Structure 1
Amino acid sequence: MKIVFVIALVAIIVALFAAGRAMLRDGRDGEPKSNRMVRALALRVGLSIALFVFILVSYKMGWIQPTGIPMGQ
């Protein structure tokens, strides 16, 4: 389960870097601007939402259990 979370986080970071790279490269040297940055950011948002939903579903199905600091102390 941890591997799925790590892969999703890496994919989100890669999409963010792709958007940054597209932002820096588009429109240089008289080239027309493309939609690469918009697509990369949309992919990042979609991956983030999918990861959040996956975590919620995993909790409801019992695949993951909450751990950490006890509540009320």
Structure 2
Amino acid sequence: MTYLVIIAFIAILASLGFALYYMLRGGQEGDAKSKRMAKALAVRVGISITLFACVLLAWQLGLIHPTGIQAGQ
């Protein structure tokens, strides 16, 4: 599970990097670059939602356990 989270964070950062690259790289193909930037940001949102769903599923299945302050203490 740890490796999945690390890979997902790297993919999120890469997607943000691609979006930044397409945003900064203007030029004559402004519309095509804008679509690429929007697609990169959509991929980032999709990866983030998938990661969140995987963490919730792992918690529900008992694969991971929350740590910290116990309730009622």
TM-score under structure 1 normalisation? Answer: 0.86
Q: Could you list the runs of 5+ residues in structure 1 that have no partner in the other structure?
A: none
Aligned 1:1-73 pairs, distance under 5 A: 1-25=1-25, 27-28=26-27, 31-33=28-30, 34=32, 35-73=35-73
Root-mean-square deviation over aligned CA pairs: 1.2
Task: Return structure 1 stretches of 4+ with deviation > 3 angstroms.
Answer: none
Give the whole-Å Cα distance in 2 for the aligned partners of 1:69 and 1:10. Answer: 30
Give the whole-Å Cα distance in 2 for the aligned partners of 1:5 and 1:47. Answer: 10
Q: Could you list the runs of 5+ residues in structure 2 that have no partner in the other structure?
A: none
Shift of 1:72: 4.0
TM-score under structure 2 normalisation? Answer: 0.86
Amino acid at match of 1:15: S
Report percent identity of matched pairs.
46
